[in-house]
Amino acid sequence: MQFRTRAIHVGQEPDPVSGAIVPPIHVASTFVQPDASMTTAYDYARTGSPTRHGLESTLAALEGGARALGFASGMAATHCVTQLLSVGDHIVTGTDIYGGTWRLFNRVLPDHGITVTAVDTSDSSAVARAVTPATKLVWIESPGNPLLSITDIAACAQMAHAAGALLACDTTLATPVLTRPLEFGADIVMHSATKFIGGHSDLLGGALVTRDAELGKRLHWLQNATGGVMGPFESFLCSRGLKTLELRVLAQSATALRLAEWLAGHPAVVKVHYPGLVSHPGHALAMRQMAAGGTIVSFEVRGSVAEARRVVESTRLFQLAVSLGAVESLIEIPAVMSHGSYAPEARRAVGIADGLIRLSVGLEAFEDLRDDLASALPRS
């Protein structure tokens, strides 16, 4: 089955009892057992529930994985992966990563005896230099957030595996429509389902997908032991979101490319970061690893940080809000919003300028979004 057919049918079989074409939302927290020592497929909803399980089956089919797990948020999913590690273990990660992931890796894990080295993972040789005998996890984000850097997933998988480490890849920004990291050798894919999988700014969720069933089992054990699971209503909304994922991501990517091209030609714009542009340093790799450039564009305007703030506060269709990946277009300043949890020196050192503006391009018409930006940008 093609991707969009799997998105509609796998894990979403009609209800065998009523014939309902949409499987019911199972809200039960517990499941009646035939006898004290035997359960049905389910016993307690933290361990597993039919609605979450339906979503997990679809996600595994879309990523080409053996097992998928639904979490309460993207951060709960990321945290679960880090629980595979023990005191003394080391993580190699990127510098162009979501601010919350940066906070977990730099402010939480070191207190638990885990060390972290952040390098520009779009430079594979920097990853190779950072790996040590203690490295147990290489964590990459591609495209990176908010600079849209592209990391070579296959090269990182080889380096991680040669060192006896796992490669986990946050492809929230790409979605399985554009990149499927397991096909490039990654062990774990992570998504903030809050973004494209939900797609409508109305839920919080996360997901992990593993290539290997044993690793999936281990992560499921940790998830059940620690409890950050996705609830039934969110699972239903994610399953519904997945049915239109391909259409949304391809349409939003096409609009994002046109906006990036338009911004690159605007006199008030000094820099545009978009992997779909030939000028992007990761363009060639993006074209090998991604089906399109994605729906996120970041750019810098000429002038001061105050000028950038004026732009984000002047748009009408682009709503001033963190998050991304929904049908509504959003605009923000990562330095003070999505990446506000970075230490300012660390943020500037990795190239996230104080005045960088990030767009999440939604499903609105290109012309309306372009006109909205045109009226907010300085006219010089």
Ligand X SMILES: Cc1ncc(COP(=O)(O)O)c(C=O)c1O
Question: Nearer Cβ to ligand X, position 194 or 235?
Answer: 194
Q: How far is the CB of 332 from ligand X (least distance, A)?
A: 10
Active site residues: 46, 98, 170, 195
**C-alpha to C-alpha distance for 99 and 84, rounded to whole angstroms:** 21
**C-alpha to C-alpha distance for 130 and 302, rounded to whole angstroms:** 35
Q: How far is the CB of 77 from ligand X (least distance, A)?
A: 8
Question: Is the four-CA dihedral 299, 301, 305, 307 of positive or negative sign?
Answer: negative
Binding of residue 172 to ligand X (CB under 6 A): yes
Question: Nearer Cβ to ligand X, position 81 or 373?
Answer: 81
Binding residue count for ligand X, defined by CB under 6 A: 16
**C-alpha to C-alpha distance for 64 and 54, rounded to whole angstroms:** 15
Rule CB under 6 A: choose which of 50, 54, 65, 100 binds ligand X: 100
Residue 156 CB: number of other CB atoms within 10 A? 29
Question: Nearer Cβ to ligand X, position 142 or 163?
Answer: 142
Bridge partners of residue 206, in order along the sequence: 71, 192
Per-residue interface string for the shown chain with ligand X, residues 52-81, x marking contact by CB under 6 A: ---------------------xxx------
Binding of residue 192 to ligand X (CB under 6 A): yes
Binding of residue 199 to ligand X (CB under 6 A): no
CB-based contacts of 124, cutoff 8 Å, min separation 6: 152, 155, 156, 159
Question: Nearer Cβ to ligand X, position 74 or 294?
Answer: 74
User: Are 119 and 94 in contact, with CB atoms under 8 Å apart?
Assistant: yes
Q: How far is the CB of 14 from ligand X (least distance, A)?
A: 30
**C-alpha to C-alpha distance for 146 and 338, rounded to whole angstroms:** 9
Binding of residue 170 to ligand X (CB under 6 A): yes
Q: How far is the CB of 260 from ligand X (least distance, A)?
A: 19
HSE, side-chain direction, 13 A CA sphere, residue 144: 31
Q: How far is the CB of 323 from ligand X (least distance, A)?
A: 6
* Widest CA span in the chain: 76
Footprint of ligand X on this chain (CB under 6 A)? Answer: 73-75, 98, 100-101, 141, 145, 170, 172-173, 192, 194, 204, 206, 323
